[in-house]
């Protein structure tokens, strides 16, 4: 038979703190800001629900992703608030955890790997299907994430301990890490023929 357990006094104290302390003030938008700064909502949940990551297009427009979408946010009336978007892609299903726009290509981590989308006509909508570049585990906080081009010309992908930065990416004897243990920083040569873990 099920018997109710008494509420822990520690748990009750924590709940009261959350409802009355600084955490509640945070939820209500009570922030201490330095003079000259303000917080203002510039994009509604309707335009971009549950944003996972953000980068910028070559024109400086925010590019955001959540489950099942990548969108380029638009401010059509110039008031500093986004009122529309270009539907760049209806992917990745699990939401991109990393975005990097370079020239007319958008790289992202999601749906089990690193992908490259083309936008050669500059209309902020992907041109056809993306190119699959490398497998990674995606879709959680410990998976693959940030993507950046290094000063050496190589593309870097940051992976958490569930991201799949394993020995298969050690394709060069020059790789600083030969036996990866957990997460890592995987880098790819510009032609994607070489990779290392650093």
**Boundaries of every domain in the chain:** 43-197
Q: Which CATH number fits domain 43-197: 1.20.140, 1.10.20, 2.110.10, 3.30.70?
A: 2.110.10
Strands across the sheet containing 131-135: 98-102, 105-110, 113-118, 131-135
Q: Which of 92, 79, 106, 107 is nearest to 186 (CA)?
A: 107
Please list the pLDDT of the chain residue by residue as tens digits (198 residues).
434 444 444 444 444 444 444 444 444 467 788 898 888 888 888 999 999 999 999 999 999 999 999 999 999 999 999 999 999 999 999 999 999 999 999 999 999 999 999 999 999 999 999 999 998 888 888 777 899 999 999 999 988 776 666 666 677 777 776 776 788 888 899 999 988 878
Q: What is the pLDDT of residue 48?
A: 93
Strands across the sheet containing 195-197: 144-149, 155-159, 184-188, 195-197
At 39-68, the pLDDT tens digits run 888 888 899 999 999 999 999 999 999 999
């Amino acid at each position: 038979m099920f018997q109710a357990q008494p509420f822990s006094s520690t748990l009750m104290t924590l709940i009261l703190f959350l409802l009355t302390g600084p955490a509640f003030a945070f939820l209500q938008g009570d922030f201490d800001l330095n003079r000259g700064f303000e917080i203002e909502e510039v994009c509604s949940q309707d335009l971009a629900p549950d944003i996972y990551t953000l980068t910028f297009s070559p024109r400086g427009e925010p590019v955001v992703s959540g489950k099942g979408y990548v969108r380029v946010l638009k401010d059509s009336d110039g008031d500093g608030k986004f009122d529309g978007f270009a539907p760049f892609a209806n992917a990745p299903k699990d939401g991109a955890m990393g975005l990097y726009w370079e020239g007319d290509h958008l790289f992202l981590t999601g749906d089990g790997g690193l992908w490259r989308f083309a936008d050669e006509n500059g209309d902020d909508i992907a041109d056809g299907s993306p190119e699959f570049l490398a497998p990674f585990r995606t879709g959680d906080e410990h998976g693959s994430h940030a993507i950046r081009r290094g000063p050496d010309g190589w593309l870097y992908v940051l992976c958490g301990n569930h991201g799949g930065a394993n020995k298969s990416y050690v394709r060069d004897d020059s790789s600083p890490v030969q036996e990866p243990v957990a997460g890592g920083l995987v880098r790819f040569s510009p032609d994607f023929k070489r990779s290392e873990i650093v």
